[in-house]
Amino acid sequence: ILKTLNSWFWWENIWMPINCTWADFVDRDGLVFPKPHQLYATIPYAFVLLIIRFFSERYVAIPLAKALGIKNVRRVKPQPNPVLESYFRECSRHPSQSEIKGLAKKCNCTVHLVEKWFRRRRNLEIPTVLQKFQEAFWRFSFYLTSSIVGFIFLYDKPWFYDIWQTWVGYPFQTLLPSQYWYYMAEIGFYWSLIFTLGIDIKRKASDFKAHVIHHLAAIGLMSGSWCGNYVRLGTLVIFVHDTADFWLEAAKMFNYARWEKTCNMLFIIFSIAFFITRMILFPFWILRATLYQPTYYSTTPVIAYFLFNGMLLTLQGLHLYWGYLILKILKRFVFLK
């Protein structure tokens, strides 16, 4: 069954133009092609990024937070109590008064002690400002580095200025070393975010689902574009996304430090960058190149055309959702101060 599924998955008609086979993607005559098996390396790269994250949060983010006036608040842990812990995890974090009385009898202690235990236990679940700052610092560091490196990799490429160049010579476009490392780092980063979903700052259910969908769609898109050698377009998509994100993380960092004016200024810059990149460049530049331009090079679109554009449209749906939230915040900022 696995062999059959594998043969279906790598069927040429899914990935490449008509009259092309996987045999055509063998390195030759100075041409180097991306290979699907290279994507396995993104998992070890993800763990390397997690190690870098650990040291940067500990030895850079914490001293920076202290310099900005953020204090590390230590919360008092409740006394170990298996009965109350089990009830907290499996039943309710906010028991009613009658439930508290029942638990007090069961544990042979006072109602006041049970209430105090639940209050302290709930406080442990709330992330400290320092923890939030550390997470924002890591994302800021990666997105800023990725944006700078991406610009260095792309500024001298013709497809950075003329989107039609992404299709010239396709699918026989050679893979550049800069494109390899750009992809590996970006996919590894999103794998690392998925690996730490359980320990990162807990978000509201709707935001959590949006982040999971975004991370999986990003990995699926980058991995698929790697296999189909849509690398030129892929690097543009990565660059368009990362250039707005580091402004948001910077605004968060100064928000946690209570530098209100700096935070407001950075958030306005982020909002402008977001709407330029996600509401203008992405739909009218990137999506135009993936939906419209391929019809000039092939009269019979491959299945990958529909798969990739479906995922790109999913991302655009998330952009619209986040854009709506940003507009709500801007409305409160302008009208309610």
Confidence class for position 301, pLDDT limits 50, 70, 90: low
| pLDDT 10s digits, 314-325 | 889 989 999 999
Residue with tokens 């003329």: 162
Query: What pLDDT was estimated at residue 151?
Result: 96
Q: Does position 295 have pLDDT exceeding 90, yes or no?
A: no
Q: What ranges in the chain are assigned the alpha helix state H?
A: 2-9, 12-15, 42-56, 62-67, 82-90, 97-107, 111-125, 129-154, 177-195, 205-227, 231-256, 260-276, 287-291, 294-297, 303-335
| pLDDT 10s digits, 216-257 | 888 988 998 998 889 999 999 999 999 999 999 999 999 999
- Cα(62)–Cα(66) distance, rounded to whole angstroms? 6
Average pLDDT over residues 255-278: 94
In eight-state DSSP terms, residue 126 is S
Least confident of 56-60, 92-96, 206-210, 225-229: 206-210
What are the structure tokens assigned to 70, written together? 């953020």
With 0-12 CB in 10 A as exposed, 13-18 as middle and 19+ as buried, what is 264? middle
| pLDDT 10s digits, 94-119 | 888 888 888 888 888 888 888 888 88
Confidence class for position 300, pLDDT limits 50, 70, 90: low
Taking every pair of C-alpha atoms in the chain, what is the biggest distance, in angstroms? 81
Query: What pLDDT was estimated at residue 205?
Result: 66
Q: Which amino acid is at 141?
A: S
- Cα(311)–Cα(213) distance, rounded to whole angstroms? 10
Assigned architecture for domain 82-125: Orthogonal Bundle (1.10)
Query: What pLDDT was estimated at residue 48?
Result: 96
Average pLDDT over residues 122-147: 90
Q: Which of 13, 73, 8 is nearest to 298 (CA)?
A: 13
Q: Does position 148 have pLDDT exceeding 60, yes or no?
A: yes
User: What mean pLDDT is reported for the chain?
Assistant: 87
Instruction: Kindly list the domain boundaries of the chain, sorted by start residue.
Output: 21-68+128-336, 82-125
Query: What pLDDT was estimated at residue 103?
Result: 83
Q: What percentage of the chain has pLDDT greater than the value 90?
A: 48
Q: Which 3 state secondary structure label does DSSP give 119?
A: helix
Q: Report yes or no: 231 and 173 within 8 Å, Cβ to Cβ.
A: yes
- Cα(38)–Cα(41) distance, rounded to whole angstroms? 6
